[in-house]
C-alpha cells in the first residue's frame, strides 16, 4: 500500500517509509540500509538512508526493497 505525505500544500507519494530496510542500487556489496527520514526538494522527496554510522540522501529510483543479486555475486567473486 502506497503512503502519501502532505508538504507545503502538496500531497506527495512515498515509495518507502521510515524504518524500511532497503538497498542502494549502485552499492556493489548490496548491504542493507534503513530509511531514517525524508527531505523535501521542490516537488520531490529525498530519502535519508543510514548504514551503520553513515547517513546519505537518495531519490526513490536509487533505492530498492530487494538486493540486486547480480551485483552481490560480483562483489562476492572478488572475495575468493
Domain ranges of the chain: 3-65
Q: Is the pLDDT of residue 79 over 60?
A: no
**Per-residue model confidence as pLDDT tens digits over 32-61:** 999 999 998 887 899 999 998 899 999 999
Dist CA 20 CA 49 (whole Å): 10
pLDDT of residue 2: 75
Residue pLDDT, tens place only, 18-29: 999 999 999 988
pLDDT of residue 1: 61
Q: What pLDDT is recorded for position 60?
A: 94
Q: Span 3-65: which CATH code?
A: 2.30.30
Tell me the three state secondary structure of residue 22. strand
Assessment of whether the complete model's pTM goes beyond 0.75: yes
Q: Is the CA virtual torsion 36, 7, 61, 56 positive or negative?
A: negative
Amino acid at each position: 500500500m502506497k503512503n502519501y505525505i502532505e508538504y507545503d500544500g502538496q500531497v506527495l507519494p512515498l515509495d518507502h517509509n521510515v524504518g524500511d530496510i532497503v538497498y542502494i542500487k549502485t552499492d556493489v556489496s548490496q548491504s542493507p540500509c534503513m530509511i531514517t527520514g525524508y527531505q523535501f526538494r521542490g516537488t520531490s522527496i529525498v530519502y535519508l538512508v543510514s548504514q551503520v554510522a553513515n547517513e546519505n540522501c537518495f531519490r526513490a529510483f536509487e533505492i530498492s526493497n530487494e538486493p540486486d543479486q547480480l551485483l552481490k555475486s560480483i562483489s562476492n567473486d572478488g572475495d575468493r
